[in-house]
Amino acid sequence: MDFIQNNLGLVALVIVSGLMIFWPMVNRRISGIKEVGILEATQLINHHDALVLDVREDQEYAGGRIPQSKHIPLRQLSDRLHELEKFKNKPIIAICRSGARSGQGCSVLRKNGFEQVYNLNGGITSWQQANMPVERK
């Protein structure tokens, strides 16, 4: 108990750090965003005609992308939702480099009435590590 009283700043730092690590996972569960792995994503693409929405920046997208993916950078997503209107009742798998920005993209989609929204766990990085197909310009 003496340690805690003498090191309140350190204890607070540990608590805040722990919350920062787990908050994105908790927030996704609360918001209804589903995380999918490579296997589930390919099943959604192949069997349910899912749209792959790449929210990375232009330079990242040009460096390699999932075939037939739609590219809308995250910063433009709210203004370009009309381009996705025909996919409102279809599964949409959002991707970025690692899964963080695509989680934000999923939130934007959910707030605008898209119900079948998925975030690719690990993003394009995990896709490439699984030796899945990637197109390059």
Strands (E), the chain: 34-36, 51-54, 70-71, 92-95, 117-120
Alpha-carbon distance of 57 to 61, in angstroms, equals 6
Of 32, 59, 53, 25, give the one whose Cα is nearest residue 41. Answer: 53
Options 96, 106, 109, 117, the catalytic residue: 96
Our answer to whether residue 96 is catalytic in this structure is: yes
Structure tokens given for 2 = 């003496």
The residues pairing with 51 across neighbouring beta strands, listed in sequence order, are 92
* Residue numbers annotated as active site: 96
